[in-house]
Structure 1
Amino acid sequence: MSTPPDALPADAFDLLATLVAVVRVDGRCERVNAALENALCQSRRKLVQGQALDWFVDPAPLRDALQRTGELMVSRFEATLHGPAPGAHPLPVHVVVSPLERGGARGGVLLEMIEIEQQARQDREERTHRLAREQKELLRNLAHEIKNPLGGIRGAAQLLALAAAARDFAESAEYTDVIIHEADRLQALVDRLLAPHQRALVLGEVNIHEVCERVRAVVLAEFPRGLDIRRDYDASLPELRGDRERLIQALLNIVRNAAQALAARITAGDACITLRTRVARQLTIGQQRFRLAIELQVEDNGPGVPAELRERIFQPLVSGRADGTGLGLALAQTFVQQHEGTIEYESTGGLTRFKLLLPVR
């Protein structure tokens, strides 16, 4: 027997991750939860008393399921919801239609819809978090193994340099300078690999738009001509508790990567990056459910992420540029994960969009 949503606490209905509605057998909607509002981008007032059949690209499977509810049958089928806006992509869902009993009598159905893409996204997030943990441990072990011989190499090179100077061996001094310089460069690389895990977060109230403005100013100073960085902010967003400097660095790494990928368009003078902020509600990240989160998008009109890198762009030392270190996106993901968030992206020719999802507590 299905539990009537009316018997649930009001907050519990809206805390459900799935898209849920209570519908009469004729398809008229009586109640929806926040997740369904967000998915359809329509207000609860508009959805309630409307027709649930109108939500679907093909309403026939739902109509058939509603007709069978008198037999106390539970129906399951795959369907597609209309996009939240004209021209938007439709939303594939798995639908479960269950008959309800109210006061001992049958009355209406519970309509549950599970986003197929959401499930796939959660699976990707779990793999990303697991990979990040494994890589963190590997990098820490590797970095410590590298640091010990580096110290010995640098010390020996300094002794050689002193001996060469005493004997006026100019050529030897040149070689020892190269050894010291390269040892310092490797040391700096190792320190960058270890840096995200060595210092605790410095927490405080952070305005995400101040973070965006700081990054925007830095990148425009670096690329003063041919690049337009547009703002599309939701001014109603609350502050979040986090490490301001790490959030700046995470966003800066992503925006700078986008600017570097736009080199050809910057030369042509039509390069564009958009910083967009939105609220996200009832968001699941990893194994945790958050009632409220900030979604920060970085969108550019560049060539997109190369196909061969799309599964590995957040891995350390993976770069699409010959002179890249491959640490920018890896560090950005680490910093965001330290705030219990995650970074997602989608990329096609002419459009790349990174989404930083940051829970608000």
Structure 2
Amino acid sequence: MTQTPYSQILDSLMTAVIVLNDDLSIQHMNISAEMTLGVSGSKVIGKPIEVLFSPHDGTPQSLADALRENTNFTKRKATWKLHHQKSLTVDYSVTPNAESGNVVIEVQPLDRLLRISREEAMISSQETSRNLVRSMAHEIKNPLGGIRGAAQLLSRELNNEDLEEYTRIIIDETDRLRDLVDRMLGPHKVSQREEMNIHETLEHVMSVLRAETNGSIKLARDYDPSIPDIEADKAQLIQATLNIARNAMQALTENKDEHKPPPAITFTTRIQRRYTIGRKYHPLVVKASITDNGPGIAPDLIEDIFFPMITGRAEGTGLGLAIAQNLISQHNGLIECDSVKGRTEFILYLPLENQHA
């Protein structure tokens, strides 16, 4: 990309900025604009602005009119149809300069702002839910110990094997409830952070799935090998990733259909630039995706799947995803889900800069 005296300043902005020549060819795009429009600036420099848009989008003509009339204008909640046919909702301002023959376009994607607001609300709701569940779990756990102890004492006083069977049931069921409560409370150990590569975690999870499915599910990988190490608790990342992957595996094995394509799970990694998680901005994050071609998640569940006790499976406890989200949030990250019939994708976002809990 051609460097201008202001290139470094423009590239540091979170606002997407596009600079056009007087013939509406692209002179410069900052990094935010590349990310917003899904193009590499070096490949479009010198090309007409139309290359960024679908032929059916009228934005290039609006820019030509602005340059001809030398008038500034701003459009709110405009829908851009981009070159790859994706739609983008934006606020954008156009500032032409007749003397220099340039047009500066400042773009604020509203999809991103809506996503940030949605994530903030989700993180806040999940934190409230976790606190409530922890309080309830502690209240449940205390009497369970008393019930178990009383059952043990009672079993010692009984000489009838049939009656002792009842006390064994009480003890076993109490232990089962205690284990469930422990899972609701989440991990008790302090995070042990170390430098590690995200692919180590994914490869470990794949090996576990391979053993559990005995080859009945195709496991594929699409990695970016250039991703640097992150500082994380390896055991916690494995647990979070395994919870998600097992959900995908169970969705595929419990919904077999001869007419569907062979069941498959794909693990993908990429670098995401300039990403905001909650209110915190991160220059670089690791984006790790787990995608399956199963039946998808019911639309009425998709917004609540990360809350405890929410599940679409008859045998599910509804704790796996809640625990996974909790573990990733301890790494200042986030898990998102996008699901339609035939494709469900869980995306883990983990900041690359060192994050100490």
Q: TM-score, normalised by structure 2?
A: 0.89
Whether 2:74 is the aligned partner of 1:75: answer yes
Which of residues 164, 167, 183 is equivalent to 1:176? 167
Matching residue of 2:185: 194
* Amino acid corresponding to residue 64 of structure 1 in structure 2: S
Matches of 1:8 and 1:83 in 2, distance apart?
Answer: 27
Residue 239 (structure 1) shift: 0.9
Give CA-to-partner distance per residue, 1:251-284, whole Å, 9 cap, x none.
1111110010001566858111111111111111
Structure 1: state its 5+ residue gaps: none
Alpha-carbon distance change, 83 to 356 in structure 1, aligned in 2, over 3 angstroms? farther
Matches of 1:83 and 1:251 in 2, distance apart?
Answer: 34
Which of residues 145, 156, 162 is equivalent to 2:150? 156
Q: TM-score, normalised by structure 1?
A: 0.88
> Which aligned pairs between 1:1-361 and structure 2 lie closer than 5 A?
10=8, 12-57=9-54, 58-68=56-66, 70-77=69-76, 78-84=78-84, 89-99=85-95, 107-164=101-158, 168-196=159-187, 198-263=188-253, 270-361=262-353
- Count of residue pairs the alignment pairs up: 346
Structure 2: state its 5+ residue gaps: none
Residue 62 (structure 1) shift: 4.1
Matches of 1:346 and 1:48 in 2, distance apart?
Answer: 33
Give CA-to-partner distance per residue, 1:148-178, whole Å, 9 cap, x none.
11111111111111111xxx12232111111
Matches of 1:142 and 1:258 in 2, distance apart?
Answer: 29
Residue 344 (structure 1) shift: 1.2
Matches of 1:27 and 1:97 in 2, distance apart?
Answer: 15
Matches of 1:240 and 1:184 in 2, distance apart?
Answer: 37
More helix by share: 1
Aligned Cα root-mean-square deviation (Å): 2.4
* Amino acid corresponding to residue 63 of structure 1 in structure 2: Q
* Amino acid corresponding to residue 165 of structure 2 in structure 1: E
Residue 6 (structure 1) shift: 6.9
Q: Is the 8 A contact 1:19 1:36 kept in 2?
A: yes
* Amino acid corresponding to residue 90 of structure 1 in structure 2: K
Matches of 2:168 and 2:161 in 1, distance apart?
Answer: 11
Residue 99 (structure 1) shift: 1.8
Alpha-carbon distance change, 83 to 29 in structure 1, aligned in 2, over 3 angstroms? closer
